[in-house]
Amino acid sequence: MSRDDIQQDSDDEAAFVALLMQHRHRLYAFLTKQLVNPTDVEDVFQKTSIVLWKKMAEFDPQGSFFHWACGIAFNEVRNFLTVQRRSRLQFDVELVELLAQEAAAEDTLSESRLDALRQCMTQLSGRQQAILQRCYHGSESITDVAEKLGRERMALYKQLARLREKLLDCIRIRLAKEGVSS
Amino acid sequence: MSDETLLRQLNSLINGTINDEEHRVLQDRLKSDPSARTLYRERMDLEASLRTWAADDAVVSRASATVDIANGSRRTSQWSWSVVLTALAVSVLLAFTWWQWQPTTPQNQLAIGHSPADIETVLSGELVGRIVQQSDCRWKSVPDVHNGRFSPGALELVSGAAELRFDSGTNVVLESPCEIIIESADSARLLAGTVFVDVTEVSNGFLLETPESQIVDDGTQYAVSLGSDATEVHVFDGSVIWTPTSVSNPIEERISTGEARRYLRTEPSRSHRIPFGQRKFVRTIEADVLEASGGELIAYDGFENLAGQLRRGRSGFGWAGGWQLTGRGRGPLADVVDAPDDLVFGFDRTGRRLLSAGDGNELRRDFKEPISLHADDTFFMSLLASRQAKDAEADQVKSGTSLQISLEPESNSPRYTRRHSVSFGFTSDGASFVNNAGKIDETASAFTEGETFLIVFKYTATDRIGTAVVRVYQPDAKIDETEPQVWTVSGSPSIRPQEFVAIRITPGQNATWQIDELRMGTSWSSVTGAYFGVPSE
């Protein structure tokens, strides 16, 4: 392998990682809408990343990386559901296909909602943010988090539900102000 | 269904507390109602956004802390994020330089989580896989785990079992007690204990070292047990190459499927053939059970597998998928814990595992094939069961401490399923009972908290009627080698279903039940043969 070849490979790899970083949230949201459970989503995201890398040569740089990635991600979802169908409650393939079609069409909306969420977070107290951080970062279950916080599990569920509602309201208002149709 | 109901169901779905019926109703609504799907997608976008925000925020916090230390001043998160991106760009370049000279392929390194923290740390080589552990795992050397992913370093597992799923495509199950040093995504050094290695087809290989040897796989599943005197290698599939490292002029030895070798640690270049499966690795137990039953077992679960992953359906045979939490249960599914090193009904449970279920959490598992019932069909089920005291007043009768094992017919109606199920077990006051599709019979029996009982159930079908009987063996009893004439409870006949499709385990709200060696078969001996011999101590 020549120095030029090595440099070319390095450039390709850097471009791939940059694309993956740029689209990671959209892709993650696309998978979440089909699988819901974060562990399942994370597993399929990993497998999708590997397949995307292997098939990178097939990607047309003039096209949409996200929509190309969605096609591959959807195949991974189907594979995952075939294997895992009975190990957790999952939607059937008919509904998953429908959700995938609709999710693929709202990548910019997902990104806008993320931007709005970041701004809405500033309206929450540090303690509320810390609870969300605890529940959404990592793989601890709500039961585990409640136990470590010394709180009742149901009380934590209720607080999370209230925080989600508050954030949803805030996101809707922000998107409406910015003229983003949701 | 109102939007309020929809929102409540979405919350249950997100929290993972939704039951089968609610899930089915929600699915139907989403299929038929575009506005419900819009609301659903908005909620899922919020979930995804919160995950991304939390992951980003953790990276920012980490970078912020680093910058604070370096500069002695407080920075804003926004500023820190730009530092992270710059650092990430640098680490990407470093990682690529490294990749070019490694035998492993870049795609193996790209098994990354979605968070930038994962991407950053994997690219810089810190995280090498995902760890799955059972809830009762105890570590002496705690692994450095970030977001469920682990980095190289020393691990010492004191109790329980854990599975390391390397990004390189190799899965390593640690059976406690076990000490291992993770070297990289495709190598590790075993210091003590037992590991089961599964080098999957996508892997480029895995190097396992012991103090006296290197073990290189050739597309395989194998187990290594490192004791103080000797090391055993058992190969279940494929082959491995054993190379002594502590001697001059080492000679490699290939060990193939179905073979096992023992090497004295003082003499690692001289192998000793040992019977394959002499040591009961998890992988071999189920095969032994199947063989011993003469093909008459329909389903079996010894709860041996693996890091307590009940939902993933990896333990036993004759099942479609894993155990599921059903009914009103909202807690954790159940635990797979170490069985006591005891002898029950002549059956040695040393080093084995069992199911610990409680708090009213119902478990359900589908049979691989429905058990179709025809006239004159008979089948049997057996299990070991022990109720564990939850408080000091264990000797007193306490409500909500029952155990019910149910066989369920196929139906979309939960009500029909309940009414036509056939179940048996113990009431809270320790009586044995049979509930044959709503007809209940029970017999008082001598029940002792903490003791392990063997329960054998028999179901016989005639043209339209089914009969169910149960025999409960006390801890000191000798097990009949042929079907007994006398049963502990003989249930009343009742209209029978066409088939049974699943089994359900229902522990009471105020009890923890330890359940082990669940067997279903077509003959008495297929479900009791393991217990013929001496009575338990």
pLDDT digits (tens, 9 = 90+) for A73-118: 999 898 888 776 555 688 988 999 999 999 999 989 999 999 999 9
In this predicted structure, what is the pLDDT of residue B422?
94
If one counts the domains in chain B, the total is: 4
Q: Which residues 86-105 of chain A have a CB within 8 Å of chain B?
A: 86-89, 91-92, 94-95, 98-99, 102-103
If one counts the domains in chain A, the total is: 2
Does a structural domain hold residue B164?
Answer: yes
In the chain, the amino acid numbered B17 is: T
Query: Do residues B136 and B52 both lie within one domain?
Result: no
B122, B151, B186 - which closes a domain = B122
Strands B187-199 and B207-210: parallel
In the chain, the amino acid numbered B110 is: L
Residue B108's φ and ψ, nearest 5 degrees, are -65, -30
Residue B69's φ and ψ, nearest 5 degrees, are -65, -45
Query: Do residues B243 and B293 both lie within one domain?
Result: no
Q: CA-to-CA distance for B56 and B53, rounded, in angstroms?
A: 5
In the chain, the amino acid numbered B509 is: Q
Beta-bridge partner residues of A5:
none
Query: Do residues B135 and B95 both lie within one domain?
Result: no
B11 and A161 in contact by Cβ < 8 A?
yes
Query: Do residues A100 and A35 both lie within one domain?
Result: yes
In angstroms, the separation between the Cα of residue A50 and the nearest Cα of chain B is 6
What residues contact residue B234 under an 8 Å CB cut-off, 6+ apart? B222, B223, B224, B225, B259, B260, B276, B277, B279, B281, B284
Q: A21 is written with which tokens?
A: 């970083």
Which residue from A98, A118, A139 is facing B53, i.e. has the nearest CB? A118
Of the candidates B111, B115, B204, which has an alpha carbon nearest to the alpha carbon of residue A47? B111
Quote the ipTM score.
0.94
Task: Flag whether residue B273 sits within 8 Å of chain A, measured between CB atoms.
Answer: no
Query: Do residues A143 and A100 both lie within one domain?
Result: no
What does the DSSP 8-state code read for residue B276?
T
pLDDT digits (tens, 9 = 90+) for A8-45: 555 666 677 778 888 989 999 999 999 998 878 887 88
Q: Which residues 14-33 of chain A have a CB within 8 Å of chain B?
A: 14, 17, 20-21, 24-25, 27-29, 32-33
Q: How many CA atoms lie within 13 A of B104 on its CB side?
A: 26
B58 and A94 in contact by Cβ < 8 A?
no
What range does the domain containing A56 cover?
Answer: 1-105
Q: CA-to-CA distance for B85 and B100, rounded, in angstroms?
A: 23
Residue B142's φ and ψ, nearest 5 degrees, are -80, 130
Query: Do residues B312 and B441 both lie within one domain?
Result: yes
A38 and B47 in contact by Cβ < 8 A?
yes
Is the pLDDT at A146 greater than 60, yes or no?
yes
In this predicted structure, what is the pLDDT of residue B534?
47
A105, A131, A151 - which closes a domain = A105
pLDDT digits (tens, 9 = 90+) for B25-69: 999 999 999 999 999 999 999 999 999 998 876 544 443 333 332
User: Is B53 in contact with A174 (CB distance < 8 Å)?
Assistant: no
Query: Do residues A22 and A57 both lie within one domain?
Result: yes
How much of chain A exceeds pLDDT 90, in percent? 36
For B20, the closest chain A residue by CA position comes to: A89
What range does the domain containing B47 cover?
Answer: 3-67
- Beta-carbon pairs below 8 A across chains A and B: 175
B316: left (phi over 0), alpha (psi -120 to 50) or beta: left
A117 and B49 in contact by Cβ < 8 A?
yes
Low-confidence ranges of chain B (pLDDT < 50): 59-112, 120-125, 278-279, 283, 306-308, 329, 392, 394, 534-537
In this predicted structure, what is the pLDDT of residue B114?
58
In this predicted structure, what is the pLDDT of residue A3?
46
SS3 A110: helix
In this predicted structure, what is the pLDDT of residue B127?
79
Mean pLDDT for A120-134 is: 88
Beta-bridge partner residues of B170:
B199
In this predicted structure, what is the pLDDT of residue B85?
31
Query: Do residues A3 and A93 both lie within one domain?
Result: yes
pTM metric for this prediction: 0.44
Q: CA-to-CA distance for B227 and B262, rounded, in angstroms?
A: 11
